[in-house]
């Protein structure tokens, strides 16, 4: 049995981390049942981040490396029938959402003060309110330092929004009216893209980033469809 180390539910998903949800989708696509262990302390995580898995004593960290492990160990093909060009596009769109749009959403949630006031109690819901700030605020400072190092945190809120809008427009244009990223079937691109979109669609904010996303109903519907198709049991317990 595989153990998946995860953050608790959030943003209308069985985990508040889009990377953990991506791995949940991969495990479901690979028909590998897993037990979920909520990780309260990242010091045990090999790379200091989630997800990581334990599979018969093998510890693998990072959603892409977990995918590679599943492909190799269980002979899973996450992109059946895709052309080499489509597979290349899948990598490019995955990088777009994970290495750019993710940081725009992180900026929106963690760096903008009025949003942080709403997001903090959700992310740190397991902590008693009177102890929350002592733990959450130093983590926020670290996240803001990380975003500065990564680069997105150096932009103004308006510039961050403009970057995110261009990502969303590109994604929405590329998706069009297809049910899944490459047509009728769930593939690796869906597993990567849907949780990143749902992180914005499922937050309780109503700011300009949310407006920018909801201007593209096809993206919002795609995220919901992918999650409900891949994780029907887990999504049943989530708020809309
Ligand atoms: N490249 C990693 C990214 C994982 C990641 O950024 N996880 C975040 C949660 S969404 C995390 O654990 N952050 C904790 C931290 O940075 O301290 C993957 O694909 O698994």
Question: pLDDT for 121-154, tens place per residue?
Answer: 999 998 999 999 999 999 999 999 999 999 999 9
pLDDT for position 237: 78
Q: Ligand 1 test: best mutation among 5, 6, 8, 19, most atoms within 8 Å of CB?
A: 19
Rounded mean pLDDT of the chain? 96
Has domain 84-230 been given CATH number 1.20.1050.10?
yes
20 Cα: distance to centroid of ligand 1 (angstroms): 8
pLDDT one-digit tens code per residue, 177-212: 999 999 999 999 999 999 999 999 999 999 999 999
Instruction: Please indicate whether residue 63, judged by its CB atom, sits closer than 6 Å to ligand 1.
Output: yes
The tokens describing 68, both together, are: 């590679």
From ligand 1's centre to the CA of 18, what distance in Å? 9
Rounded to 10°, the helix 18-29/188-201 angle is: 140
Q: Which CATH architecture has domain 2-74?
A: 3-Layer(aba) Sandwich (3.40)
The closest residue, in CA terms, to atom 16 on ligand 1 is 49
For 5-43, what is each residue's pLDDT tens digit? 999 999 999 999 999 999 999 999 999 999 999 998 899
In this predicted structure, what is the pLDDT of residue 81? 95
Tell me how far the alpha carbon of residue 78 lies from the centroid of ligand 1, in angstroms.
22
17 lines ligand 1 (CB under 6 A): yes
Q: Is 62 in the pocket of ligand 1 (CB under 6 A)?
A: yes
Q: Tokens for 97?
A: 């959402």
Q: Can you give the pLDDT at residue 212?
A: 98
* Bridge partner list, 3: 35, 54
Residue 239 has pLDDT above 70, yes or no: no
pLDDT at 41: 85
Sign of CA dihedral 222, 225, 228, 229: negative
Question: Average pLDDT for residues 48-77, to the nearest whole number?
Answer: 97
Give the number of other Cβ atoms within 10 Å of residue 230's Cβ. Answer: 22
Determine the pLDDT at residue 235: 86
Could you tell me where the DSSP H helices lie in the chain?
18-29, 63-74, 84-96, 102-106, 113-123, 129-150, 157-175, 188-201, 208-214, 217-230, 232-236
**C-alpha of residue 52 to centroid of ligand 1, in Å:** 10
Query: Does 240 have pLDDT greater than 70?
Result: no
Mutate to test the pocket of ligand 1, among 50, 139, 203 (most ligand atoms within 8 A of CB): 50
* Cα 177 to averaged position of ligand 1 atoms, centre (Å): 31
Question: Rounded to whole angstroms, how far apart are CA atoms 204 and 186?
Answer: 27
Query: For 69-93, what is the mean pLDDT?
Result: 98
**What is the value of pTM for the model shown?**
0.97
Q: Supply the residue whose CA is at minimum distance from atom 11 of ligand 1.
A: 49
| 32 Cβ inside 6 Å of ligand 1 | no
Confidence of residue 116 (pLDDT cuts 50, 70, 90): very high
The reply to whether ligand 1 has any atom less than 6 angstroms from the CB of 16 is no
Per-residue confidence (pLDDT) for residue 238, from 0 to 100? 80
Q: Please state the domain extents for the chain.
A: 2-74, 84-230
Whole-number Å distance between alpha carbons of 19 and 198: 12
Q: How confident is the model at residue 138, as a pLDDT?
A: 97
- What does 71-122 look like in DSSP terms, one character per residue? HHHH---SSTT--HHHHHHHHHHHHHIIIIIHHHHHIIIIISHHHHHHHHHH
Same fold: 2-74 with 84-230: no
pLDDT digits (tens, 9 = 90+) for 219-238: 999 999 999 999 998 888 78
What pLDDT, on a 0 to 100 scale, did the predictor assign at position 144?
A: 98
Q: What's the rounded Cα separation, in Å, for the pair 122 and 133?
A: 13
Locus of tokens 């940081």: 103
Q: Which structure tokens are listed for 115?
A: 């949003």
Alpha-carbon distance 238 to 72, whole Å?
32
Give the pair of three-digit tokens for residue 56: 């018969």
């Amino acid at each position: 049995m595989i153990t998946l180390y995860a953050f608790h539910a959030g943003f209308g998903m069985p985990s508040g981390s889009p990377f953990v949800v991506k791995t949940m989708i991969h495990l479901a696509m690979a028909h590998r049942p897993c037990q979920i262990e909520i990780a309260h302390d990242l010091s045990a995580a090999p790379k200091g981040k989630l997800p990581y898995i334990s599979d018969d004593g093998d510890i693998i960290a990072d959603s892409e490396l977990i995918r590679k492990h599943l492909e190799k160990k269980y002979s899973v093909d996450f992109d059946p029938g895709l052309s080499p060009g489509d597979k290349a596009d899948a990598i490019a769109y995955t990088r777009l959402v994970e290495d750019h749009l993710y940081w725009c959403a992180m900026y929106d949630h963690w760096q903008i003060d009025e949003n942080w006031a709403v997001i903090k109690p959700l992310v740190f819901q397991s902590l008693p309110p009177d102890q929350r700030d002592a733990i959450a605020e130093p983590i926020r400072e670290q996240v803001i330092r990380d975003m500065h190092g990564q680069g997105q945190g150096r932009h103004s809120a308006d510039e961050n929004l403009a970057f995110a809008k261009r990502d969303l427009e590109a994604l929405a244009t590329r998706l069009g009216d297809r049910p899944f990223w490459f047509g009728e079937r769930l593939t690796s691109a869906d597993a990567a893209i849907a949780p990143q979109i749902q992180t914005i669609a499922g937050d309780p904010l109503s700011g300009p980033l949310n407006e920018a996303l909801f201007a593209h109903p096809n993206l919002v519907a795609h995220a919901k469809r992918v999650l409900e198709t891949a994780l029907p049991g887990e999504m049943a317990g989530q708020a809309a």
